[in-house]
Chain A
Amino acid sequence: MMPRWKGKGLQAKANADPMSKIVSQLQSSLIQFETRGLLSSCSVLVEVDAELADLLNRSCFGRPRITAQEDKQWFQLDMEEAFYLCFSLKCLKVIGEDGSIKSNEELWDYFKSKKLVFPVSYKVYSHLRHKNWVVRSGLQYGVDFVAYRHHPALVHSEYAVLALSEGDNDLNGRLRVWSDVHCTVRLCGSVAKTLLTVIVNSNNQVANSPSCLEHYTVEERTITRWNPERSREDQTGPKNGTKKV
């Protein structure tokens, strides 16, 4: 499926403003201002000035919260987003309710306690973010994430992402039965997205600390429905088996 840009010239605009650069600027600014986040249930709240707010918006981390404050803005980060800024980009520190800064291990344990599949979903989130895709929650589509080629204002998301793990300890439990495959593929199709499964193999690592992540391996697969009524023409000739069916 080709990317669907939302307007003329937006692809050029995206090319002129690469996401990697925006994220890098965000990282520098967060470090410069020694930004602290507040741990709150399943979110991390950060208070930022206008410049950082702009960078958070452009890099698609967090959601702004409406407040009466004029000079500062509050953003709410998901667990994966917060941990990415803390652990992968090392540009954010998070404070717990006791007022002390949480270590990465403490954050890891905390997030795992809130979400059993956090190690797997984080691995998938960071895997795609490292490739400079914009990754947002896919809850409204019944999946874990949606992945955009750039800012959602410029382009529609192409992929609906399910974070799956291999083996007996798959807590996600998705796509175990055909009805779920039918349902998910159909829903993705109706919103013009391809279903992407990102399968995480823990390689027998116990998820005690975030250092286990580097031993996880990841494989991407798309699941698509083939419609025999639509694919009858063979345009490439009998011997060439490369036509995509």
Chain B
Amino acid sequence: MATHIAPLRKLWALHVLDGNDIHLSLKELYEKLSNGKSGCYWELFEVYKHLRSLGYVVGRHGIPWSVKGQHIKSGTCSLEGSQESNEMLEMEPKDENSVIELFNNMQITDVSPAFNVYLPNSKFRKSSPGDPSFVLYISRCSPPSRVEIEALERKHGAIPFKFCHVENGRVSFFSFAKTELPVLP
């Protein structure tokens, strides 16, 4: 699944190729996003695009980054034509412009995280990405309950996680952090 997308601000251009290395038009991409198995590719794409355009490094949770020298596996994305946001990324000089199967089979559920996100200037290296700055869940229907949040805290341990809500073209991020107000004198 691939297309050339030039977003409004023209900060970055994303080349996407399908399995046969054939460029698809924007219309075809949008159609694919709408027809995803769980019908949720559109929200995933909005979130992905939003964070990428701000310079964050976003990978699909559970999918390894490619290792230097190997063919690019799914879950990676490279930028073209954008100086500001990919300077810190270690890139192969001629990376294939592909988001091959990035969203393939991806489902938004409230229990499986969508993305691992790294801060933009975090000297991210695909060969050793390290822990993400946070794990991102995309929320479908309702805000998470306390029970759900606790389960996620057990699952992710020290790595923070956030919930993302997409509606009406707006992408919003929320943190639900345990706290304890101090006992005052």
Q: Provided the pairs A131-B184, A220-B181 are in contact, do residues A182 and B172 lie with their beta carbons within 8 angstroms?
A: yes
Contacts of A220 in B (CB 8 A): 178-181
Q: Is A199 touching B146 in the complex (CB atoms < 8 A)?
A: yes
The size bracket of the interface on B is: 35 or more
Contacts of B51 in A (CB 8 A): 228
Any A CB within 8 A of the CB of B115? no
Bound complex: CA of A173 vs CA of B131, how far in Å? 36
**B:163-185 near A, CB below 8 Å:** 165, 167, 172-185
**Cβ-defined partner of A238 (8 Å) among B55, B130, B158, B185:** B130
Any A CB within 8 A of the CB of B81? no
> Contacting chain B: which of A58-66, A69-77, A78-86, A229-237?
A229-237
Q: Provided the pairs A221-B149, A226-B162 are in contact, do residues A131 and B181 lie with their beta carbons within 8 angstroms?
A: yes
- Chain B nearest CB, measured from A37 CB (Å): 26
Any A CB within 8 A of the CB of B143? yes
**Cβ-defined partner of B143 (8 Å) among A147, A178, A243:** A178
User: Which A residue sits closest to B55, measured CB to CB?
Assistant: A232
Q: Provided the pairs A20-B185, A133-B181 are in contact, do residues A176 and B121 lie with their beta carbons within 8 angstroms?
A: no
Any A CB within 8 A of the CB of B30? no
- Which secondary structure dominates chain B's binding surface? loop
Q: Is B177 touching A224 in the complex (CB atoms < 8 A)?
A: yes
Per the CB 8 Å criterion, the residue count for chain A at the interface is 43
Q: Is B146 touching A224 in the complex (CB atoms < 8 A)?
A: no
Any B CB within 8 A of the CB of A219? yes
Bound complex: CA of A178 vs CA of B1, how far in Å? 31
Closest 5 CB pairs of A and B: A18-B185, A234-B119, A132-B184, A226-B173, A234-B122
> Could you show 22 A-B contacts with beta carbons less than 8 Å apart?
A18-B184, A131-B183, A131-B184, A132-B185, A166-B146, A181-B143, A185-B174, A219-B146, A220-B179, A222-B179, A223-B176, A224-B174, A224-B175, A226-B175, A228-B173, A232-B54, A233-B119, A234-B119, A237-B123, A241-B130, A243-B133, A245-B160
